[in-house]
Amino acid sequence: MSSSGQPRSRSRLTRQEKRDRRLAAIISKTVAKAVSEVYENASKSSEMSQADAPKESSKTAFSFKQFKACGPKEFTGEDGPTAMFHWFDSIEVTFRQSGCPDNLRTLNATGVFQSRALDWWTAERNKRGNDAAYALSWKKLKEIMIEEYCPSHERHKLEDEFWGIKQDKGDNAGLTARFKQLSIICPDQVKTPDMTIKKYIRALPDCVADFVLASKPATIEETYLLAAEINDKRVKAGFWDKQVKPLHQVTAASTDNPTAQASKSSRRRKKNKNCAAATNAAPLQSVPAQQQQPQRTAPVINAPPAKRAYTGPHPLCATCSYHHPVGVACRFCAHCNVYGHFTASCRYGPRQTQAQAAVNQALLPAPQAPQAAQAPANNVRTCFACGDPNHFANRCPNRVVKQEAQQPQQQQQQPQQQAAHARTFNINARQAQADNNVVNGV
């Protein structure tokens, strides 16, 4: 029994093993095929999800916290257009550093608005709506901000500045930075590259502009580099160490010391104290007042009043520097040796006699050659003898000298008139009869 039962069990086991082996082979094939299909479907689905929703992945990848970690500069809108353009440059650098995507630049840039800028952006969001406001591109946001914080009157000021922009001594870097900013604000003045290059060269100093112009740069970037190189050489050579003061600084420095100006004017008055003006003319003038152009002088504290210009008809004398008729001797005082008055009318010493005055008058230089005198503009009372408007004929010095010269001649002629050159005898009949020396004829 036992021997017959063992073969049966072994046959059963072999049948069971064969079934298990067949089932394992079928399962392994089906599982391998299913796993490969699962992997293929997963890769395709991931690729499709990445292609269909790139924006959602970017939104989840970048946040304002990452942008704020780079330290963006705040913008208040209270420092003028120049500060706004500086902020543009700074915030664009922060975009690069933080890796901010283009569609999130407006959202992150407006997050650093403060004060007036924050109030303006709040009004824009209320007007446009939050979604439309934050959907604006960075370029469009800059255009709106320029219209808001750089109005027309501020733009006119910047245009005037750009029109006359010049380099300050050796600061070529400051000139280049300001030139780039104003080129963006005022594009009408730099429409073409040729206009931009010429305008930048005009802003350079002469010692730099001549070399840059001679090199004929093709682009504005080449012009920037060449100007910076030449400017550095001029700075190292000490070209701007010694500067000449402008004219307005020199005139302003002359008014800083009013005591010196007052002392100079007092010395001038003392020097001209002995010069008594005989006419209304201002002495020491080589050109009539009508031909002189007015000159602008710096104001002087405690300065003497300006003298009136001569308006008479007589020309200026080169000997005495006074105006008097042509052909008339100059007025000269022999006591104080000053032109302008005679010795008889000198107020600074005893008056000399008329004889001494005549001698001193004879020692004067000869009068100038007669010139064509101008006709008097108005009726002026003058001396009938010499034409001087400062005295009349009864007090004419030439007439007095002539009378004094004739008086000695008359005194010498009086004794000669008493002695008779011929003798006559006249007698009547009664005198002849009484005179014994008379002989009567028969």
Same domain, 124 and 167: no
Same domain, 314 and 400: yes
Please tell me the predicted confidence (pLDDT) of residue 288. Answer: 46
Same domain, 93 and 172: no
Residue 122 lies in a domain: yes
CB 100 within 8 A of CB 61: no
Residue 404 lies in a domain: yes
Please tell me the predicted confidence (pLDDT) of residue 290. Answer: 45
Same domain, 354 and 386: yes
338: Cβ contacts below 8 Å, ≥ 6 apart: 274, 275, 332
Q: Report CA torsion sign: 369, 374, 380, 384.
A: positive
Kindly give the parts of the chain with pLDDT less than 50: 1-3, 55-59, 244-255, 274-292, 351, 371-377, 402-403
Angle 408-412-416 (CA atoms, 0-180°, nearest 5)? 160
- For residue 78, what are the domain limits? 71-150
End position of a domain, from candidates 119, 150, 181? 150
Same domain, 166 and 221: yes
End position of a domain, from candidates 150, 177, 196? 150
Report the C-alpha gap between 186 and 158 in whole angstroms: 8
Please tell me the predicted confidence (pLDDT) of residue 248. Answer: 45
Q: Provide the number of structural domains found in the chain.
A: 3
Please tell me the predicted confidence (pLDDT) of residue 118. Answer: 92
Same domain, 231 and 118: no
pTM of this structure: 0.37
Same domain, 143 and 163: no
Same domain, 94 and 160: no
Please tell me the predicted confidence (pLDDT) of residue 79. Answer: 85
> Which residues face 316 on adjacent strands?
323
Please tell me the predicted confidence (pLDDT) of residue 281. Answer: 41
Same domain, 364 and 282: yes
Please tell me the predicted confidence (pLDDT) of residue 261. Answer: 53
Residue 62 lies in a domain: no
342-370 tens-digit pLDDT: 888 887 655 455 666 666 666 666 555 55
Please tell me the predicted confidence (pLDDT) of residue 49. Answer: 62
Residue 17 lies in a domain: no
Please tell me the predicted confidence (pLDDT) of residue 354. Answer: 62
Residue 100 lies in a domain: yes
Residue 85 lies in a domain: yes
Query: What DSSP line would sit under 214-236, residue for residue?
Result: HH--SSHHHHHHHHHHHHHHHHH
CB 382 within 8 A of CB 323: no
Residue 180 lies in a domain: yes
SS3 content of the chain, % helix, strand, coil (to 5): 60, 0, 40
Same domain, 82 and 139: yes
Same domain, 203 and 185: yes
Report the C-alpha gap between 176 and 228 in whole angstroms: 9
Same domain, 103 and 223: no
| Phi, psi for residue 365 in degrees, rounded to 5 | -65, 160
End position of a domain, from candidates 150, 168, 198? 150
Please tell me the predicted confidence (pLDDT) of residue 369. Answer: 53
CB 386 within 8 A of CB 398: yes
Residue 87 lies in a domain: yes
